[in-house]
Amino acid sequence: MGDKLEKILLSEAEISEGISRLAAEVDADYAGRDVLLVGVLNGALMVMADLSRALHNPITMDWMAISSYGAGTKSSGVVRILKDLDTDIKDRHVLVVEDIIDSGLTLSWLLSNLRQRQPASLEVCTLLRKPDAAKVEIDVKYIGFDIPNEFVVGYGLDYAHRFRNLPFIGKLAPHVYS
Ligand code: XMP
Ligand code: MG
């Protein structure tokens, strides 16, 4: 762990238990329906890889890359599409797969964008949520873990493009970013 991380918030085993729990819920709710998992790059790569493998129902997947304008670790809610879906989602059952919901501004923008494409249904599955950071109300159906309002890295989440490959989720030591 070195001196870059202050503590481990979620171990590999805890993440894996959370992913299994989410997968069981998604499998039960979408039984008999074709679901399209939409992963939000880059952060959701690990969640997508593990969640999709934990599902028993057949699924398809697609990816979107979006970026929030705004400096540093704060999201502005002004969003730009860097890579759009390859799939036409009209009349499809869409499940957005996210790593983390912080202020909710990015996701809120994404959901209204996707809703305009008239999917049959639109839900969200996120591994992490910071309830104390919420700036907009979003109805999120599948939540792995609620976490404190601290900057976390690992398991897809980065600080300045680093730490994404950690198999666990940790809290960054303040000296790394201050
Ligand atoms: P908002 O505030 O719009 O932000 O919900 C969502 C996006 O911001 C990034 N984010 C984080 N990335 N550690 C990270 O590595 C964090 O604690 C964190 N909080 C927000 C992330 O890209 C997320 O999709
Ligand atoms: Mg993200």
**99-109 per-position pLDDT tens digit:** 999 999 999 99
Q: Ligand 1 within 6 A of 110 CB? A: no
Burial of 149 (0-12, 13-18, 19+ CB in 10 A): exposed
pTM of the entire structure?
0.94
What is the whole-number distance in angstroms between the Cα of residue 60 and the centre of ligand 1? 25
Q: How far away, in angstroms, is 40 Cα from ligand 2 center?
A: 6
ipTM for the assembly:
0.90
Indicate which residue's Cα is closest to atom 13 of ligand 1: 152
pLDDT tens for each residue of 36-70: 999 999 999 999 999 999 999 999 999 999 987 66
Q: H helices then E strands: how many in the chain?
A: 4, 9
Is any ligand 1 atom within 6 A of the Cβ of residue 158? yes
Please report which ligand is nearest the Cα atom of 9. 1
- C-beta of 166 in contact with ligand 1 (< 6 A): no
Domains assigned to the chain:
5-177 (3.40.50.2020)
pLDDT at 69: 66
Does residue 105's CB lie within 6 angstroms of at least one atom of ligand 1? yes
- Give the neighbor-by-neighbor strand order of the sheet with 5-10: 5-10, 169-172, 152-153
Residue 167 predicted with pLDDT over 80: yes
27 labelled catalytic: no
